[in-house]
Structure 1
Amino acid sequence: MSLHTTARPSRFPQHLSTKAVLGALGLSLSLIAGSALAQSEPSPPPAAPMQQGGPMGQGMQHGMPHGHEKAWKHHGMDRTMQRMLDRVHATPEQRERIRGFQKSAMEHNRPLMEQMHDLTQQRMQLLAAPNIDFGALENLRSKQMAVADQISKTMTQTQYEVALVLTPAQRQQIAHMLQERMRHGAKPGDHGDTGHGPMNHGMGGAQ
């Protein structure tokens, strides 16, 4: 798979876009073992909030695909994946290949993240207008869905490539860890080896 793009100045804040893409990439480990545990709530990109806690902010996020927007709020996702790779005794060669897949996908998706950001800004302007144009909002929703679909396709390809790098036994171990996480209802940011760590969401990026 060729995902390389020509580097260009980013209009999307570097620290935010990187975290968002890393969060999406981190979902790969949750899907490697063929488990649907980490993707049980698919949904279209929600609308962006007018302001934090405002009346139009209820049920609205950052215009990101569900799950991806969590990466804007959580830190240390790279350590999460590192711990998972440690527990399945991933070899240096496996880690290096996984890092390569992630880097390639990040480069490919960065322009798409910028598009999502721009569409979110447009939605906010429409919602702030004296007269709200539902047709324009629906048009933006369709555009956001199209961008989210492109991001999802890249993520699926990355998940597949990472899965091929790991052995069947490693994938089974990851599936077992995720099942334990779900069974114990661990919360993001928790730490520990059995059911009390951040692997519940499978979000992260390999070191």
Structure 2
Amino acid sequence: MLEANHASIQPEMTSSLSPVQLIRPTRHGDARGWFTEVYNREAFAKLGITCTFVQDNHSLSAPAYTLRGLHYQTPPRGQDKLVRCIRGRIFDVAVDVRKGSPTYGKWVGAELSAENGHQLFIPIGFAHGFVTLEDNCEVTYKCSDTYAPANDGGIRWDDPAIGIDWPMPVGTAPELSGKDKVQPLLADFDSPFPYDGRPLAPLA
């Protein structure tokens, strides 16, 4: 466990080399319940996460197996994201779409839930999506830039070239937005994201 200077947040990270990081904030509990810090700039800087967050988003997905993604914003309006689930459970995914990356088109995913309190940091250069695993899931996430419609883009959630193993019952059709039903395939995507020398690593 990485010890931060502030005693209330002690996030663990996947790898100092991996751009996508699974963070597990420490919870301090007693008979009343628990307390946790979900973000502390100094502690996160120790993990190499130095972006400035400027927007917080909050979504409710009423039906189980609502799928949102895969989304990104193009430069110069790219978004780093810090995602957590505050009600229910989701399976959260990041796909490497950095041109020239040796892990281009590869993905990692993790279950985030109100119970486990885990968060996923997804940097610029990765497409992001999640599927809800039960009814009435609420997700919040911090972004390093505000929403820019002209830079909004996406990739098909079920692109066979990516092959995400979404944890849904066999034969289940996810609930999708109209936009996500018609996103392009990765093969048709000319990535504007540069590779920064850090290949994607599995989440611990």
| Higher strand proportion | 2
TM over 0.5: no
Structure with larger Rg: 1
| Higher helix proportion | 1
Q: Give the number of the structure with larger relative contact order, counting CA–CA contacts within 8 Å between residues 6 or more apart.
A: 1
